[in-house]
Structure 1
């Protein structure tokens, strides 16, 4: 009996065990899912870290702030509370100085919150409002300290600058790795408040100059002139990274060029007979020159000793020289230099995007480019071969006109079209090489003709003829050549605002346009403007269009002519009525 009871007990225990094991997986899965869902996403943007224990254990004091906490890692530390009131006073001074509302700064920080949090390796557990308040107070404090030191704005009531030992300790605290703010948020505050420091005219350059002035003694930095290019061309993460950039010698790019030599040579159609060293030296010098020119122009970094930027005519000629087909560097080598040196240009955080922005800024006037916002997606998604290809990408419409079979190259010129009643309208500035015809209106984008125009257009056509399978620009100039045949055509298009003629006379424009298409090869079966030329021919072949145009030109061209015709018509009607009445009375 005892055995039976024991067996029954064992069976009951077993059944209980089975029941428990069936419930455990469900609870375990739920628990694990909750933990997985609560994990924050890891960011590749992290640049501010906790000191590893293997380093900290040897000297904890070297990594710990003594006076002030900056950022979230030491926020709330009881040892650092004495500075919190001073930080709030500096925030008050900052708001008064910048004349930007507290609401505007909070709005800016809300837009940047995710990126600021991602700058820290560990997850910051502070709530949104507390986190943003801490960043705002600390950023304002740091900027005010930079300013007060730079301009020597201290007085007896200032509890920080009136105590030399205190400000000295603060300099060391803001160079601790765990005590950093992302540099970009300081840049954003400078831009928001439009803060500049002479001689700079740019907010980012002003922040770089202020930072260097504060840190040069405590961090053993060289003179700003020696570090300027390196700092301006770098993506600065925070103050400690700023110091590292200043002290790390730039790696010579010859190793990079050796790795790219074959690809660079293959970019040129003909075999380059220079030896390896001579070839790479030439590429290095030319690439560095181009990048420096882009930077100096973008940031207006010129002075009287600069033999290029001190002569406006010289830099203007250089812009046109770098758009010659035979005067190109592969775009990828400039991109590689940007990546190697981590060159970024705000607001971009990416080296390639920074190069695109710099290139557009330099070429937008000389190459008639639209605004960067209109071209951004197209440029970023394209493989850019060189500067001339960059320009072509900007000018080719996203949806070009359909290709058609070219029946005849004969077409009426602008004067003949005007006589047939065609009206001319300035087209959209978004696309230079565009002609549209609809409802009797010929729409052509504004085009400026001056002494450098021919070389620019010829090189675009030459690149297209040599490299591209699509002859859009070549076809455009063939169509334009049909419209401009005499000086009268040019003068008509000038009056309509389509042509800006900077040449001495209209005949020179005719000669320029007519000569552009000599030697070009096009496909009559796939001509982009075949439909356009066909429609213009068809419109001019309708007699009524010419009669209506003549009537408008001869009798309705001025208000006085309209009044005269109207008066004559009324007189004719009255005479007719009088005649009818006279006949009836008989």
Structure 2
């Protein structure tokens, strides 16, 4: 057999294949390719441990991975990835069922222009046209080929102004928010938030940035403020200014990526807040941990729910400092444990937003540490029944507007989490399991939860103890009564104490 010449292309990571006459296959990988692969592996390892990842190539606004729809939950949740009111960007553009919002975009465009000082419509268009090529490159290949630069710039301008006008109305509680109800209706207005955070409905942040700079020319402080207030509205259900900076020199690809980075901050050491000292031999512990490192089922298994943890002496506590960059923290004390969680609001749009953030983390070319997936996986373990939601509500950790607590349980149950950061999740799970395996801690927890969980139970315990003690004394002295002369001796002692007491000195 004649040798087949190796095929070459313009990529640097060329794989050369040569087939000899005895049909032996030889694969030659150049040294530079192995170096690139090693860099990728090191980046992913560092990413899973919480380190920053260097952007190696041009990332794109991806579509939802098709594998998500292969599972049963993915099929049922398919509508959570599709816009219900408004299309943003080229992926769902010109859909007939979304035509009403296209007319409203022209109104929001004019309202946004009026809010800018001494800015004409031409100024807005020219500013967007300056970044039109960069914005095109943010979408997957072929998705923008049907638009000229002028058409694409006009689409970006309308969509971006719609998003920014809506965010500013919510953040500043302006009366112009009534325009949304007038043209979209109350139901349509309620679904705009979910449409803004759909993975396939994203506007390149570079377009939003140039328009924010026109709207707030003074160092863009106002743009930072409205984004901060809008994200806090989604997180906590309140339009407040606080927490960490939204941008903080970040260069996000789109709004969903920016909100994801603001939504949750899981530290690599989230499971290392325990203060206990291990009672197991160091050698035995090392073998156990190394065996679990390669067992996916053991590392990914769930832990107890909120009510089960409470029975084991692990109590909930809300993290007061919501800008501390620690949204989940576990502390094991002498006779009880504390699971600290940050406050979160749950609404009718939360499920779709969660699913799209998970879909973003599942996309290729998006190296990340699966922070949102890990957080939701923790919540799925904690919330399995109505009483779990009640405990979270009572501690002001979970606020929801779904009506019944069962709806929150249903929401978490319907969210599928294909992958998590096992390094982070496994740390938290092992610390909780280690606390629960301690006998004296669980016995102390049973005593606390059974007899000291309320003032009335404590009073009842003290009264019962007093009755039991007096009954014991009565029984004891019935069996072994005191001698008769002992009573006389006691009376003499009392009289001696009374008469030996000096009377108080009278002042003249």
| Structure 2, gaps ≥5 residues long | 1-109, 273-292, 484-508
**Which stretch has the larger CA shift, 360-369 or 441-450?**
360-369
2:432 maps to 1:536: yes
SS state at 1:528 partner: helix
Aligned match of 2:383: 484
1:326-379 deviations in Å (ceiling 9; x for gaps): 11101111222344xx4326xxx124x433323333443134489544322x52
Q: Is the 8 A contact 1:265 1:271 kept in 2?
A: no
Q: Is the 8 A contact 1:395 1:433 kept in 2?
A: no
Q: Mapping of 1:76-475 within 5 angstroms?
A: 232-234=115-117, 245=118, 250-251=121-122, 253-272=124-143, 273-276=145-148, 277-296=150-169, 298=172, 300=174, 302=176, 308=182, 313-339=187-213, 342-344=214-216, 349-351=218-220, 353-368=221-236, 372-376=241-245, 379-397=247-265, 401=269, 407-428=299-320, 430=322, 434-438=327-331, 439=333, 440-466=337-363, 467-475=366-374
Structure 1 residues 496 and 373: CA distance shift in structure 2, 3 A:
closer
**Alpha-carbon distance in 1 for matches of 2:338, 2:434:** 14
When structure 1 is superposed on structure 2, of 367-376 and 543-552 the one drifting more is 367-376
- CA drift at 1:312: 5.4
Q: Do 1:344 and 1:354's aligned partners in 2 also have CA atoms closer than 8 Å?
A: yes
Q: 1:567 to 1:499 in 2, by over 3 A?
A: same
CA distance in 1, matches of 2:411, 2:438: 32
SS in 1 for 2:459: helix
2-structure distance, mates of 1:489, 1:330: 39
Per the TM alignment, residue 293 of structure 1 is displaced from its structure 2 partner at its CA by 3.4
In the alignment, the residues of structure 1 paired with residue 440 and residue 239 of structure 2 have an alpha-carbon distance, to the nearest angstrom, of 39
Q: Which residue of 2 aligns with 1:516?
A: 415
**CA drift at 1:303:** 8.4
Q: Distance in 1 between matches of 2:463 and 2:175?
A: 68
1:417 offset after TM fit, Å?
0.8
Residue 89 of structure 1 corresponds to: none
Q: Retained in 1: the 8 A contact 2:230–2:239?
A: no
Distance 1:389 1:308, change over 3 A: farther
- Is the Cα–Cα contact under 8 Å of residues 450 and 501 in structure 1 kept in the other structure? yes
Aligned-residue RMSD, C-alpha: 3.6
- Cα contact 1:338–1:344 (8 A) shared by 2: yes
Separation in structure 2 between the aligned mates of residue 506 and residue 296 of structure 1, nearest angstrom: 30
Distance 1:577 1:367 in 2: 60
Unaligned runs of 5+ in 1: 1-226, 235-244
Secondary structure at 2:435 match in 1: helix
Cα gap change, 1:570 to 1:269, in 2 (>3 Å):
same
Aligned partners of 1:433 and 1:473 also within 8 Å: no
Q: 1:306 to 1:553 in 2, by over 3 A?
A: closer
TM superposition score normalised by structure 1: 0.51
> Displacement of 1:402 after TM fit?
5.2
Distance 1:381 1:455 in 2: 28
Aligned length: 339
Does residue 565 of structure 1 match 2:466? no
Secondary structure of 2:330 counterpart: strand
Q: Residues 557, 388 of structure 1: CA spacing in aligned structure 2 closer, same or farther, 3 A cutoff?
A: same
**Structure with more helix by fraction:** 1
1:474: how far off? 0.9
Deviations 1:17-65 (A, max 9, x none): xxxxxxxxxxxxxxxxxxxxxxxxxxxxxxxxxxxxxxxxxxxxxxxxx
Could you report, residue by residue, the CA deviation over 1:394-449 in whole angstroms, capped at 9, with x for unpaired residues? 23439553589673523111121111122222223626982222131112222333
Task: Return the offset for 1:322.
Answer: 0.9
* Bigger relative contact order, structure 1 or 2 (CA pairs below 8 A, ≥6 apart): 2
**TM-score (ref. length: structure 2):** 0.58
Offset at 1:475? 0.9
Greater Rg by CA: 1
Deviation per residue, 1:435-464 (Å, 9 max, x gap): 222131112222333321111211222223
* Residues 508 and 380 of structure 1: CA distance in aligned 2, closer, same or farther (over 3 Å): same
TM-aligned CA distance change 1:460 to 1:515, over 3 Å: same
SS at match of 2:434: helix
Q: Is the partner of 2:203 in helix, strand or coil?
A: coil
Mapped to 2, the partners of 1:254 and 1:486 lie a distance apart of 52
